[in-house]
């Protein structure tokens, strides 16, 4: 293999996670430019271009190129949501913490989804506190002007919102996985096939 082919192979390998149109255009453009030069001029041009890693990093920085990442497996998303919702009840504190770590390490959800997932994790202890406060506010043998209905309604609303957000996270993960979307460097989602700036 020639020095030029070594360079282009290395560059192509470094850009494997970049939009294929961008990668092929850059590698083929450099190949065409260098093939039109005399060997000494081609060596000078390669030195001017710089290390392939630098070129790859420059491409990402200039174009804001989306980095394709494999999504998490379906079981990962399910386990994450289970830990966020009931993990803390099964293993107090540690279950929710493990769910939060898995959520923020996920490659499927965008940052906005992760923020909602964090609120879901906090909703578990919040529900427990709301349930306890409802029981404390109207203790045994006591009566309240509203009766036990107000704490029960509050608890019910919180429970529905909490479960709804958990289900929504699973639906979002499933849709993103099925649509083949990728997380970009800004935590947003875009289709892998149409990533142009």
pLDDT per residue over 21-66, tens digit each? 778 888 888 888 888 888 888 888 888 888 888 888 777 766 654 4
Q: In this predicted structure, what is the pLDDT of residue 166?
A: 85
User: Given this model, what pLDDT does residue 67 score?
Assistant: 46
Q: Can you spell out the DSSP letters for 36-64? A: TS-HHHHHHHHHHH--HHHHHHHHHHHHT
| Contact call for residues 11 and 30 (beta carbons, < 8 A) | yes
For CA atoms 164, 166, 170, 173, give the dihedral sign. positive
Arithmetic mean of pLDDT, 127-148: 57
Q: How far is CA 40 from CA 33, 37, 45, 114, in A?
A: 13, 8, 9, 53
Scored b (16 or more CB within 10 A) or e, 153-181 reads: eebeebeeebeebbeebeebbeebbeeeb
- Residue range 153-175: average pLDDT? 82
Burial 82-103 (b: 16+ CB within 10 A, else e): bbbbebbeeeeeebbebbbebb
| pLDDT above 50 (res 68) | no
| Rounded distance between C-alpha atoms, residue 189 and residue 111, angstroms | 10
89-130 pLDDT per residue, tens: 788 778 888 988 988 888 888 888 888 888 877 776 666 666
* CA 151/CA 140 separation, integer angstroms: 14
> Rounded to two decimals, what is the model's pTM?
0.49
- What is residue 68's DSSP assignment? P
pLDDT of residue 135: 54
Q: Which helix (H) or strand (E) holds 127?
A: helix 111-137
189's enclosing H/E stretch is strand 189-191
């Amino acid at each position: 293999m020639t020095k030029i082919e070594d360079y282009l192979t290395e560059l192509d390998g470094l850009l494997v996670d970049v939009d294929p149109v961008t990668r092929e255009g850059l590698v083929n453009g450099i190949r065409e430019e260098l093939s039109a030069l005399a060997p000494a001029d081609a060596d000078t041009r390669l030195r001017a271009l710089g290390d392939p890693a630098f070129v790859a990093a420059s491409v990402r920085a200039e174009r804001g190129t989306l980095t394709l990442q494999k999504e998490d497996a379906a079981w990962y998303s399910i386990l994450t949501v289970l830990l966020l919702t009931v993990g803390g009840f099964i293993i107090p504190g540690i279950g929710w913490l493990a769910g939060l770590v898995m959520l923020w390490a996920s490659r499927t959800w965008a940052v906005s989804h992760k923020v909602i997932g964090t609120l879901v994790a906090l909703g578990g202890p919040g529900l427990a506190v709301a349930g306890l406060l409802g029981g404390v506010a109207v203790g045994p043998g006591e009566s309240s002007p509203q009766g036990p209905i107000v704490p029960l309604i509050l608890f019910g609303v919180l429970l529905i919102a909490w479960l709804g957000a958990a289900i929504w996270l699973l639906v979002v993960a499933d849709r993103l996985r099925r649509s083949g979307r990728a997380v970009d460097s800004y935590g947003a989602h875009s289709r892998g096939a149409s990533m142009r700036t």
